[in-house]
Copies of this chain bind each other. A is one copy, B any other.
Amino acid sequence: MFFEGSEKRVEVFVSPSTAPLRLLGNKFWADVVASANAEIISTMSNDFCDAYLLSESCLFVWDDRFLMLTCGTTTLVDAVILFTEKLGRATIASASYQRKSEYLSHLQTSCFTNDVLRLRKSLAGAAYRIGHLDTHHHYIFTADSIQSGGVIQSNRELMMYHIKGAIADYLRSDKQSCQGIRDILALERVFANFTFDDHLFDPCGYSINGLCGDKYMTIHITPQEESSYVSIETNANFKCCPFSALLNKLQPQSWDVIGFNGTITTDDFPPYRLVASCALPLNGKDRVQFNQYQQLTSEVLLPERL
């Protein structure tokens, strides 16, 4: 029942002179997705963005950039390399490639260090690890800018580990449905005015993309006991933080927040301890913030019989 929910993530901006990425068409993006060993299972669009649900996470394509997350044992670095080959290095204004700590990294087909070796054949750039190897950590590669433009938007990612309680139980049950999950997580209330596209995997697991103008949100749920993981990413700004709503519902044992170019607010978070934090300037334009949180209560561990 093990599934590696942790996503690899890439965001690429193209130079202003590049033809709109959305005009590249479904076939182009299907090839990019396939190169990472994933496939497109659903698509929705608005005036700004084409949003794809993937067999492993998601892809958002705007005219000037794309954002792709893939989980499991996918090889997202292959998609970055294929895109760079197809459009040419000169079109790329900025690019960031990230990996998070994985539950079972030895099951992956590549490690971040090897991914960066391959990326650097076409993209010069800086690579970092934030956080210790024996706990949550985050790898980030950012290509050196050779084009103007392409500043990463302000966005936030929340990664939740070891969810528990009634809603976690529901997400592991055979009673769940897409609408049931939207309701129990109050997604249509928290993300009012968003249009959604979601998918329930068999036997469990849930992905949802949402669009509202130029704002996006995406949530991916890997509910399996012993390796549960839920992520949300959005560039929407809210008066009420959607992260605190999810934290209170899903009661994770620990969680991390990664933010690009903005501050991280913890209003209405459940009681927590800030274990560690880091503010890292990138490429002179962007800044990434990494905060690692834990529940305050000491946990009584249940051994897993192997």
Contacts and interface: CB of A to CB of B under 8 A. Distances in A.
Nearest to A106: B106
Interface stretch (A171-179, A183-191, A274-282): A274-282
Interface in A68-109: 101, 103-106, 108
Interface stretch (A19-27, A52-60, A123-131, A146-154): A123-131
A273 interface: yes
A103 B137 CA distance: 11
A133 B277 contact: no
Given A277-B298, A278-B300, A278-B301, A103 B306 contact: no
Contact residues on A (Cβ < 8 Å of other chain), bracket = 35 or more
A243 interface: no
A299 B280 contact: no
A144 to B, nearest CB: 14
16 contacts: A104-B133, A116-B306, A127-B306, A128-B303, A128-B305, A132-B301, A133-B226, A134-B135, A135-B136, A135-B254, A273-B298, A276-B299, A276-B300, A277-B299, A277-B301, A278-B301
A301 B290 contact: yes
Contacts of A202: none
